[in-house]
Amino acid sequence: MYNSNNYLWKMVVFVFAMAAPVSIVTFFLYSDENFVFKEYLLIITAAVLPALILYARLVREMQAVAFRMERAAIMSPLEEDTRAGLRTGLLPLDNLLLTMQQYRRVLQHMLGEAQMRQDEASLLFDMLPDPVLVLGSRRRIRRSNTAANRFFNVTEMEGDLTRFLRHPALLKAVDAAYEGKDPDSRIEFTVTDVVPRHVAAYIVNLKDESSEGLRLIVTLHDLTESRRMQQMRVDFVANASHELRTPLAILIGALETLMGPARNDLEAHKRFFSMMQAQSLRMSQLIDDLLSLSHIEINEHSRPSDRVDLGKVLQGVNSLIKAKSTDMGKTIAVQMPTDEVFVTGDFDQLTQVFTNLVDNALKYSFEKSEIRVEVEIGAREARVSVIDEGEGIPEEHLSRLTERFYRVDSDRSRKLGGTGLGLAIVKHIVSRHRGHLEIDSVVGKGSTFSVRLPSSGA
């Protein structure tokens, strides 16, 4: 520092400023008398030396100020300095640093309160159940809460809004809100996904742009569940009334016969009671399947997240249905890879899927045939195929097999105890798992029902 050019120039300026008044006054005092240069030089020197000493002292004092200010940032400014040469001098360091310490404490308290409020606001923002996006200028996403990240299945949302939402009506409403034409609006639209979701978007303009450049708040409310509930009510009434009409008509006819012409006919009693029991069981199974399907469809947009061992699922299905296959004179062969296969899903629902598929294979395969369940592992998914040897399904029926109550052969399906809902249940469960159901069939040879499921971590 002492060897720097800036230091030397500042010292020269300081000394000149201190010595110049003395030199000028002395010059004018001796100008009328005999001027003695040595005496004049001695007077100037007497003025310059104290200026040099004072300047050096002030520099040391400023060094002391800088050093103690640095220490005061982490400790009390009144603690004793062990560094030599930094004792209190011309400047009131203790008062200056004490004042600075007080201001530091006030600022720390204010910053602590501001940080606490910011943390509380962030916590509340993330705890909001609906997805919320905060937009800056030009549709740029500045913030998103946890619900929004979960809704779009990402860890963090950033960039342009069109990366995640491209519905024309929504983008038009956002642009209108930027321009102030419609600052507070509500838009309903459908998000195209594996499972379409109905969403209501609420757009709020923050009026004046904030210091952080925030302009709009977009809140998304998922209407999928309520829409599905409404549709389920309509479908349930329509389907139930249609499917329950036949067994109810049979029950009513049997009861009228038993109460009338066959009142005293014991043989007729046995025959009609057996018929009534079969129809009652069919109605009970139909209601169970309808309720199961309704429950699955309500939660179809919510993807399961458990890690499921596919081997245990198939072993459970084999144990559950083995007795039935033995009674029918058929066998079930499960072929698993040597390594364990894990998928992301719901254990009970996957059990229901493969139970339905294996049960259908048993019903529609040839006598004394073998049902094969084969598992293959891919890079990001697992594939389970249920293969039967049977009459097969004509190609024109394949695309409609997963529709509710659709049957290739209605009479045969009812005779075998089918409700027409099994494959619809399979389809919706697989859809909830973000998987795919594939159906291949050759008439006269058999059918293959393949389920592809994302591997755990895919």
Determine the pLDDT at residue 351: 92
Residue 23 φ/ψ, nearest 5 degrees: -65, -45
Is a pLDDT exceeding 60 seen at residue 79?
A: no
Is a pLDDT exceeding 50 seen at residue 382?
A: yes
Distances (CA, A) of 2 to 16, 33, 70, 355, 439: 18, 42, 21, 90, 89
Determine the pLDDT at residue 34: 62
Q: Specify the domain boundaries for CATH 1.10.287.130 within the chain.
A: 224-302
Residues with Cβ within 8 Å of 355's Cβ and at least 6 positions away in sequence, in order, are 317, 320, 321
Pairwise pLDDT comparison (447 vs 54), residue with the higher score:
447
Name the band, by pLDDT with cuts 50, 70 and 90, for residue 77: very low
Determine the pLDDT at residue 98: 65
Residue type, 227: R
Give domain 304-458's CATH superfamily. Answer: Histidine kinase-like ATPase, C-terminal domain (3.30.565.10)
Q: Specify the domain boundaries for CATH 3.30.450.20 within the chain.
A: 128-222
Instruction: Return the percentage of the chain with pLDDT > 90, whole number.
Output: 9
Name the band, by pLDDT with cuts 50, 70 and 90, for residue 208: low
CATH of 128-222, one of 3.30.450.20, 3.10.129.10, 3.90.79.10, 1.20.120.1760: 3.30.450.20
Determine the pLDDT at residue 132: 92
Name the band, by pLDDT with cuts 50, 70 and 90, for residue 452: very high
Ranges 52-66, 112-126, 211-225, most confident:
112-126
Is a pLDDT exceeding 60 seen at residue 413?
A: no
Is a pLDDT exceeding 60 seen at residue 232?
A: yes
Nearest to 45, CA basis, from 23, 25, 27 = 23
Is a pLDDT exceeding 80 seen at residue 10?
A: no
Question: Per-residue pLDDT tens for 248-296?
Answer: 888 888 888 888 888 888 888 888 888 888 888 888 877 887 778 777 8
Determine the pLDDT at residue 85: 43
Ranges 39-53, 91-105, 207-221, 247-261, most confident:
247-261
Nearest to 383, CA basis, from 436, 432, 428 = 436
Determine the pLDDT at residue 238: 73
Question: Per-residue pLDDT tens for 214-223?
Answer: 688 999 998 8
Determine the pLDDT at residue 354: 92
Mean pLDDT, residues 411-435 taken together: 76
Find residue 306's DSSP bridge partners.
345
Determine the pLDDT at residue 386: 92
Q: Cα 151 to the chain's mean position, in Å? A: 5
Distances (CA, A) of 22 to 25, 35, 46, 448: 5, 16, 10, 112
Determine the pLDDT at residue 220: 92
Name the band, by pLDDT with cuts 50, 70 and 90, for residue 424: confident
Determine the pLDDT at residue 97: 62
Whether 375 and 390 have beta carbons less than 8 Å apart is answered as: no
Determine the pLDDT at residue 95: 62
Is a pLDDT exceeding 80 seen at residue 78?
A: no
When the pLDDT of each residue in the chain is averaged and rounded to a whole number, the result is 79
Domain range 224-302, CATH class: mainly alpha
Determine the pLDDT at residue 396: 82
Mean pLDDT, residues 391-414 taken together: 74
Pairwise pLDDT comparison (420 vs 329), residue with the higher score:
329
Determine the pLDDT at residue 210: 53
- The total number of residues written for the chain in this structure: 458
Q: Specify the domain boundaries for CATH 3.30.565.10 within the chain.
A: 304-458
Is a pLDDT exceeding 70 seen at residue 44?
A: yes
Determine the pLDDT at residue 312: 92
Is a pLDDT exceeding 60 seen at residue 209?
A: no
Determine the pLDDT at residue 1: 46
Determine the pLDDT at residue 86: 45
